[in-house]
């Protein structure tokens, strides 16, 4: 079969595409009804209205401990003219919840009753009819509507239903969604050892993520086995699913413009394509189709695209079937820590880390690639850039949808600057003891951290900036770049920096002096990072021209990213810390032992959260865990460094 690439000629906006989807299917009455006991119905949707069969309470009940009386016998009582009542004649002892005796309609609280002698009591104030009495049906009246159709049963509802004499309820059956993962490159993680994964292969994860999203939205997910990039096999899987009792069919992968992306053709052969391509990013390649009046949706294969496509199209469809609306996410105003560029004509979903710094919530963009699932797992919120806007300016306040509670955002310590593996240990140590507190680190290099401090968009910065004049770290840069800020400089770790190479050092690299060799591919750290400054200093010492290094302008933002590039064979070497080399079992050629410090504004230094952070880095647990990473020295960890 000839393989062709699809071209997006008639892409729709998100609003247009979603309207087409929801208007094209009459799904409000397709679900059957099932009956469950009330306690089992929590989280489910009522298929019919539910009415009480008994009143609650179904008798007049005392609401206080005391004596039950007929109110009119108390009229006229006062402190100067108390009234005497006779127990079991016109006054009756009752406890809270007791049935009111015949011919009584009020309760006098026991603390307002004076016992005169056995059988006689005295009161000094009157009561009015039904005072301190729960009348029949005070809470629920028999035959009244308890909950309407499409109401979601909550734990609170259980009490009302049972009290109203309703012990089972009619519920909408859960929508059934079939998820068909496609692609010759994906493998079942249950059937392969991670070490046996071959180049070009990837674990199939999307169906499991979307399956749990289906369940959280009130549906039932069924996962089809992986289908290779064979259009006939995909056609067969869809045709079979449409004839079964599934309400929605999802085809994962094959919705893009590649030569082996078959979702559109599969839908066209059996039905109608309603939408192919939506002006959102990630998620553009989504396909919306109809086969035998059932929605068949082509979901992009990249994880973030898949999730956003699901949330924007499948989740509203499931909600519509259940007579619900998708709950709106809480929106707050945030200030991005830097400019965010965006393409005109595309609505972009930018994942961001959030933290409250001073009186504002700052947002640090995460990697924007559609394949970076961690950009969602690490995200606190999403900034949606409209399709008519060409990015967000520096210091511009914009709305963000929260992915975590606002309380979690307020309890986030924001650290910006140089990457170091010890920060992961610090994050875990803080979280293990202080569950409410989170450390959010963004890796923009040491100079980027200082600039973030200057703009007031973080609580502290991580830095290892070498002063090539005297060999000191950070102090001269602080004095030069942040001269008017009151700051504390806290030593975190000493660490070994060097060249990472593959096991056995196949290129026989001995040091920085070998980097200009024609047979060596190098990967650099970004401009402004302490590692980049160190490299440039060493090159200058050796009289080497950076332009002679193959890969000098190829940049990464973390030590682990450099290590991965070396491990994968993309490059032969890169400069980084020993802990990163050890983590990926790479060989290491030492270059220097350097100082990594934390720079903390005085305004934040004495806050409770920063004091917890300082307490943690001074703990033996933190120091021992850091040293176990390899290449670290913690003898001076926690030391306050004079910067005056």
Going from N- to C-terminal start, the domains of the chain cover 14-28+175-321, 33-56+138-172, 61-134, 343-410, 446-641
Query: Quick one: CATH architecture of 33-56+138-172?
Result: Alpha-Beta Complex (3.90)
pLDDT value of position 442? 87
d(CA 314, CA 329): 17
φ/ψ region of 446 (left if φ > 0, alpha if ψ in -120 to 50, else beta) reads alpha
CATH (one of 3.30.9.10, 2.102.10.10, 1.20.140.10, 2.170.190.11) for 61-134:
2.170.190.11
CATH class label, 446-641: alpha beta
3-state secondary structure 426-467: HHHHHHHHCCCCEEEEEECCHHHHHHHHHHCCCCEEEECCEC
d(CA 572, CA 522): 6
The position carrying tokens 């990213």 is: 561
Sheet holding 92-94, edge to edge: 92-94, 66-69, 106-109
d(CA 464, CA 495): 10
- Identify which of 464, 455, 420 has the alpha carbon closest to the alpha carbon of residue 439: 420
Low-confidence ranges of the chain (pLDDT < 70): 1-9, 254-261
pLDDT value of position 261? 63
The position carrying tokens 């993680």 is: 189
Q: Is residue 496 a contact partner of residue 593, using CB atoms and an 8 Å limit? A: yes
Helix (H) or strand (E) segment spanning residue 20: helix 14-24
φ/ψ (deg, to 5) at 336: -60, 145
Structure tokens at 536: 């440039």
Name the CATH superfamily housing domain 343-410: MoeA, C-terminal, domain IV (2.40.340.10)
pLDDT value of position 255? 54
- Identify which of 69, 307, 323 has the alpha carbon closest to the alpha carbon of residue 171: 323
User: Going by DSSP bridges, is the β-strand pair 347-357/331-336 parallel, antiparallel, or unpaired?
Assistant: unpaired
b/e per residue 557-594 (b: at least 16 CB within 10 A):
bbbbbbbbbbbeeebbbbbbbbbbbbbeebbbbebeeb
Q: Is residue 417 a contact partner of residue 444, using CB atoms and an 8 Å limit? A: yes
pLDDT, tens digit (0-9, with 9 covering 90-100), for 70-128? 999 999 999 999 999 999 999 999 999 999 999 999 999 999 999 998 899 999 999 99
pLDDT value of position 620? 97
Strands (E), 90-189: 92-94, 106-109, 113-117, 120-123, 133-134, 145-147, 168-172, 176-181, 186-187
The residues pairing with 181 across neighbouring beta strands, listed in sequence order, are: 252
What residue spans of 490-619 are helical by DSSP H?
530-542, 559-568, 578-583, 602-605, 608-617
**How far lies 32's CA from each of 35, 152, 215, 516, in Å?**
10, 16, 18, 71
Name the CATH superfamily housing domain 14-28+175-321: MoaB/Mog-like domain (3.40.980.10)
pLDDT value of position 9? 52
């Amino acid at each position: 079969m000839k393989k062709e690439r699809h071209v997006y000629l008639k892409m729709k906006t998100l609003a247009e595409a979603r309207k087409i989807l929801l208007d094209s299917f009459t799904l409000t009455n397709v679900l059957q009804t099932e009956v469950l006991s009330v306690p089992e119905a929590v989280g489910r949707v009522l298929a019919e209205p539910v009415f009480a069969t008994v009143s609650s309470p179904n008798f007049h009940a005392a609401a206080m401990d005391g004596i039950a009386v007929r109110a009119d016998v108390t009229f006229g009582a006062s402190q100067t003219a108390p009234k005497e009542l006779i127990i079991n004649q016109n006054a009756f002892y009752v406890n809270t919840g007791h049935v009111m005796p015949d011919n009584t309609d009020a309760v006098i609280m026991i603390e307002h009753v004076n016992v005169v002698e056995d059988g006689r009591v005295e009161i000094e104030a009157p009561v009015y009819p039904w005072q301190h009495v729960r009348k029949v049906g005070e809470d629920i009246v028999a035959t009244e509507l308890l909950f309407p159709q499409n109401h979601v049963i909550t734990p609170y509802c259980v009490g009302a239903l049972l009290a109203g004499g309703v012990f089972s309820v009619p519920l909408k059956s859960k929508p059934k969604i079939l998820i068909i993962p496609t692609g010759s490159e994906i493998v079942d993680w249950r059937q392969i050892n991670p070490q046996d994964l071959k180049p070009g292969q990837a674990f199939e994860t999307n169906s499991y993520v979307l399956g749990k999203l289906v369940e959280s939205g009130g549906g039932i997910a069924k996962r089809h086995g992986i289908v290779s990039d064979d259009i006939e096999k995909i056609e067969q899987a869809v045709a079979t699913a449409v004839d079964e009792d599934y309400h929605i069919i999802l085809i994962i992968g094959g919705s893009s413009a590649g030569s082996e992306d078959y979702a559109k053709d599969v839908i066209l052969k059996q039905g109608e394509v309603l939408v192919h391509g939506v002006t959102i990013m990630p998620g553009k390649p989504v396909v919306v189709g109809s086969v035998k009046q059932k929605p068949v949706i082509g979901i992009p294969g990249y994880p973030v695209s898949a999730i956003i496509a699901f949330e924007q199209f499948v989740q509203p469809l499931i909600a519509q079937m259940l007579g619900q609306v998708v709950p709106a996410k809480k929106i707050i105003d945030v200030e991005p820590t830097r400019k965010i560029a965006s393409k005109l004509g595309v609505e972009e979903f930018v994942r961001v880390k959030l933290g409250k710094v001073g009186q504002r919530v700052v947002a640090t963009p995460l990697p924007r690639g559609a394949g970076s699932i961690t950009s969602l797992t690490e995200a606190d919120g999403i900034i949606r850039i409209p399709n008519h806007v060409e990015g967000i300016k520096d210091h511009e306040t914009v709305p963000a949808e929260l992915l975590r509670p606002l309380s979690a955002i307020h309890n986030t310590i924001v650290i910006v600057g140089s990457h170091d593996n010890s920060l992961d240990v610090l994050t875990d140590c803080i979280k293990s003891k202080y569950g409410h507190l989170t450390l959010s680190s963004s890796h923009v290099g040491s100079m980027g951290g200082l600039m973030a401090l200057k703009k007031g968009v973080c609580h502290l910065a991580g830095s290892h900036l070498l002063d090539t004049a005297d060999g000191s770290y950070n102090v001269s840069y602080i004095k030069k770049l942040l001269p008017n800020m009151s700051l504390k400089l806290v030593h975190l770790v000493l660490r070994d920096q060097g060249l990472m190479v593959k096991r056995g050092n196949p290129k026989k690299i001995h040091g920085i002096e070998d980097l200009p060799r024609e047979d060596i591919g190098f990967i650099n750290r970004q401009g402004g990072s302490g590692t980049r400054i160190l490299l440039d200093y060493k090159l200058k010492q050796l009289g080497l021209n950076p332009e002679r290094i193959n890969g000098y302008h190829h940049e990464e933002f973390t030590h682990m990213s450099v290590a991965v590039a070396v491990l994968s064979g993309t490059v032969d070497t890169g400069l980084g810390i020993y802990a990163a080399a050890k983590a990926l079992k790479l060989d290491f050629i030492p270059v220097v032992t350097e100082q990594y410090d934390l720079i903390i504004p005085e305004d934040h230094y004495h806050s409770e959260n920063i004091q917890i952070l300082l307490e943690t880095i001074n703990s033996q647990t933190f120091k021992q865990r850091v040293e176990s990473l390899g290449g670290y020295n913690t003898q001076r960890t926690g030391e306050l460094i004079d910067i005056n």
